[in-house]
Structure 1
Amino acid sequence: MWPVHGIHLRTADLDLRVMTESELGVLAAALPDDVELNPHATRYAGLDDRANRRAVLAQGYWRALGLWSTDDWALPFVVRSRGELVGVQWLEGPDWRADRTVDSSSWLVTSARGRGLGKQMRAAVLALAFGPLGAEAAVSSAVVDNASSLGVSRALGYRDTHRSVLEHSGETLQHVRLDRAMWVGSGQAHGVVVDGVAPALPLFGVEAVA
């Protein structure tokens, strides 16, 4: 087993485990029509929106594991609530060795929205990042009219930093940042259980504490 597959995160209502290839079909079927997998994602001519999202989902998983390095990694979690699939949460370290900064993105099935689960799943991966992985900061971004994503970020203590414009769509992205001191001081890691990380630490370039 790839060591990262042993990582297990839990909150009051959620169970997060690293995605496996066998789950791709179920996840593709669960993708909501309005999901934002990645504002920068590839668009394939000839594919409708839903088929394109499914292609991006599968490629994202294969790329994450196939191109993993201690400098640049991406970790996709399947999120369940009481055994029911509710979404996917990504945690990424695109320039990890240099800046110890993580990025994140996520989606929830329509029926799971409005229940505070988005905040819990983000808090879970932040507890992993700022805890055993030793992150110094977390960033995120969303189109300016994605109030739910930006609301989760601000509720967890992220601060607005700047905006940018996507070339292919003209949409405006709001970028946000959360520093380690703000996270630690917020106490929002309480109630998050992080298990199974020790065997995977070398893959993040982190030494295990004896």
Structure 2
Amino acid sequence: MKHHHWPLYGLRVRTPRLELRLPDLELLDELASVAADGVHAPDTMPFTVPWSDGPPAERGRAVFRHVLSTIANWADDDWALSLAVLHEGRVVGRQDVMARHFAVTGVVETGSWLGLAHQGRGIGTEMRAAALHLAFAGLGARTAVSAAMTDNPRSLGVSRRLGYLPDGLETAALRGAPVTLQRLRLERARWEEHRTARVTLEGLDECRAEFGG
């Protein structure tokens, strides 16, 4: 199917186990249901924007509306690509790649979440590796950055396995209280040294201009 007016719907990022794609309405509904079922233990909050605090129906609606907003607000110098992650044909989580003034800076930021039922199986590492391949090999990024709370060992472990290096600490506000974030940075040369996942891209040429690169 040709996506003449929004070619990003034709983009596919594939690893041996996963497919990442911009969700159509049917897949977006599945993604919202995964969020509604839970993405972290109720006594933790890994996000500085606590969108997952609410009851299941609110979590699902928040994800549904947010992904639609990334499409509506897309600009080639300020974009957020929110990809549904599919494992064995089922949506299991979401992987974001974001940038501002990418043509100038060459810097992307990543963020993600994975449904509770799908955690602990290496999927989080594989989907981030897919996003990094899209950024570095596909779009020609120079740097990828991320951040995680210092008490979030799973996220920090994913970054460490993929070659990120610590890039200082910062303080953020969460529910009216301060929390400490570990900033992380991955330069292109170090990504080349640590890349192990086999990743293929499909449909990028048709939507390359949307990224402002």
Using the size of structure 2 for normalisation, the TM-score is 0.85
Q: Distance in 2 between matches of 1:33 and 1:157?
A: 25
> Quick check: 1:30 aligned with 2:1?
no
Query: Hey, what does 2:72 align to over in structure 1?
Result: 66
Q: Count matched residues.
A: 202
In structure 1, C-alpha distance between the alignment counterparts of 2:88 and 2:160, rounded to whole Å? 27
**Equivalent residue of 1:62, what SS?**
helix
Structure 2 CA distance for aligned equivalents of residues 146 and 49 of structure 1? 22
Q: Cα offset for 1:146? A: 1.2
Residue 116 (structure 1) shift: 0.8
> Is 1:10 paired with 2:17?
no
Distance 1:37 1:75 in 2: 20
C-alpha separation between the residues in 2 aligned to 1:24 and 1:51?
14
| Residues 1-210 of structure 1 mapped to structure 2, 5 A cutoff | 1=3, 2-31=6-35, 32-34=38-40, 38-40=47-49, 48-169=54-175, 170-188=178-196, 190-206=197-213
Gaps of 5+ in 1: none
Once residues 187 and 58 of structure 1 are traced to their aligned partners in structure 2, the CA distance between those partners, rounded to angstroms, is 32
Q: Relative to structure 1, is the Cα distance of residues 84 and 54 closer, same or farther in structure 2, using a 3 angstrom cutoff?
A: closer
What is the root-mean-square deviation in Å for CA atoms of aligned residues?
2.2
Contact residue 163 and residue 174 of structure 1 kept, 8 A: yes
Letter in 1 for 2:48: P
Identity rate, percent = 35
Distance 1:125 1:196 in 2: 15
Q: Which runs of 5+ in 2 are unaligned?
A: none
Relative to structure 1, the CA distance from residue 42 to residue 106 in structure 2 (aligned partners, 3 Å threshold; closer, same or farther) is closer
The amino acid of 1:126's aligned partner reads L
